[in-house]
Structure 1
Amino acid sequence: MKLYGSLTSPYVRKARVLIREKNLACEFVVADAWAADSPIPALNPLGKVPVLVLDNGKTLFDSPVIVEYLDSLKTPPLLATSGETRWQMLCWTALADGVLDAVVTRFLESRRPAEQQSADNIRRQEAKVARSLDYTERHLSDGAWLMSGHFTLADLAIAVALEYTDFRYPHDWHPRHPRLATWLAEISKRPSLAETRPPGMEKK
């Protein structure tokens, strides 16, 4: 298998973390979706990363599909296969993806020329992040993991989202959410997260 994507994309990173957690044989191919000679549009008509090319030549996209497929290749699963636990895990992953979408939108808006930026749009995205941080702080368990008694896809997705928030939207959420900040500091030491941390996102 080959996983195509950029080093800084958090959506790609989710798949890379899972590959390391599962110890799967998968080549990572660094590809810029925006480059004129990018292979991505030919693999994914949406022109987005990540893209997973299977050994039979078929492709999968985008990150939710790829992550669930990779998780299915080797036990134990990081995503519960049925029941209430599965739906709760999927809610956590949806929350994480929503945070990523808000942070990416805010970041791209902030890079536009000042006279073209929408302050209202930036505030809307920041409000989404703030509500999500509040929600996660309130719903943290007392243990090391968000759900169950072990590392799951919920932990993976939220950890990647929070680290990306610190990377692209650094602000003082840590003092206001001390339990969440402590949780992130501990889970960020996990080898699969440490080994996939992109350049510029190194922990101080």
Structure 2
Amino acid sequence: MQLYGSYTSPFVRHCRIVLLETELKCEFVETDAAASAQKSPSKKVPFLHDGDIQLTDSTSILKYLREKSGDTYFSDIAAYDVFCLVNTAMDACVNLFFLEKEGLTPARSDYLKRQQARVDSIFTELEQIPLPHNAPYNDMELRLGCFLAWGIYRQRFSLGEYPKLAHFLEALNNYQPFRDTAPPSL
């Protein structure tokens, strides 16, 4: 089994955490945008190859890894909905990050203003949900942690206005699989 991705992607990081948690044997293959454009129809990371199985989205990869190891993947629909909410914020933030590199910012685009407003609204919602301060963490919590850590790493946002989220991330940083998958220092 091979997982393709980058060390900085929050989507890939979540998959790497699950691999550490489940102890499944898997080779990590660092992949850049050009290689992912050639090797994956989604033209993004992560993607996974396991024999005849080829998966092209982190959500399907997480489900596959959890179930392959005998674990359950989201038996709680409320947690899955929050997972999807985090994905929405993370997709918007990642897009804003890459578009800003091309000179496109919310100040110059109504569509991007709406994307930023979506992220802000989701942060307000996430600040209200109860979060644990020690392991075990479920996949919603891991996805949220990967997103928050990525945003801090890429200097996309601060958690100053969100003390519950900041406290959650601080606790999650003590979880060994989360710590072991941190991106390299900038």
Question: TM-score over 0.5 for the alignment?
Answer: yes
> Quick check: 1:52 aligned with 2:48?
yes
Letter in 2 for 1:186: A
Match of 1:14 in 2: 14
Q: CA deviation at 1:43?
A: 3.6
Report the CA distance between 1:114 and its aligned residue: 6.5
User: Are 1:137 and 2:127 matched, yes or no?
Assistant: yes
Q: Does the 8 A contact of 1:100 with 1:164 survive in 2?
A: no
| Structure 1 residues 24-63: aligned runs within 5 Å | 24-34=24-34, 38=35, 40-54=36-50, 56-63=51-58
**Unaligned stretches of 5+ residues in structure 1:** none
Instruction: Please point out which of 59, 65, 83 is paired with 1:64.
Output: 59
In the alignment, which residue of structure 1 is the partner of 2:153?
Answer: 167
% identical aligned pairs = 28
- Alignment CA distance shift 1:190-1:139 (3 Å): same
Is 1:80 equivalent to 2:39 in the alignment? no
Separation of aligned partners in 2, 1:114 and 1:160? 25
| 3-state secondary structure, aligned to 2:184 | coil
How far, CA to CA, are the matches of 1:42 and 1:89 in structure 2? 34
1:189 lines up with 2:174 in the alignment: yes
Equivalent pair of 2:97/2:156 in contact (CA under 8 Å)? no
1:106 matched residue in structure 2: 96
Secondary structure in 2 aligned to 1:18? helix
* Structure 2 unaligned spans of 5+: none
1:109–1:118 CA contact under 8 A, matched in 2:
no
Alpha-carbon spacing, 1:114–1:158, altered in 2? closer, same or farther (3 Å): closer
What do the CA deviations read for 1:146-181 (whole angstroms, capped 9, x no partner)? Answer: xxx942111111101111121234433x23211221
Q: Does 1:95 align with 2:77?
A: no
Taking structure 2 as the reference length, what is the TM-score of the superposition?
0.88
Per-residue CA deviations over 1:49-83 (Å, capped at 9, x if unaligned) read: 111110x2431111111111001012443x334xx
Pairs aligned (count): 185
Q: CA deviation at 1:17?
A: 1.1
Deviations 1:115-135 (A, max 9, x none): 9x8343443222222111111
Q: How far apart are residue 41 of structure 1 and its match?
A: 4.2
Change (3 A) 1:114 1:133: closer
- In the TM superposition, what is the alpha-carbon distance from 1:2 to its structure 2 partner? 0.4
TM-score normalised to the size of structure 1?
A: 0.81
- 1:51–1:29 distance in 2 versus 1, CA, 3 Å: same
Tell me the C-alpha RMSD between the 2 structures.
2.2
**Aligned counterparts of 2:179 and 2:68: Cα–Cα separation in 1:** 23
CA distance 1:128–1:4, change in 2 (3 Å): same
User: Does the CA contact (< 8 Å) of 1:4 and 1:52 recur in 2?
Assistant: yes
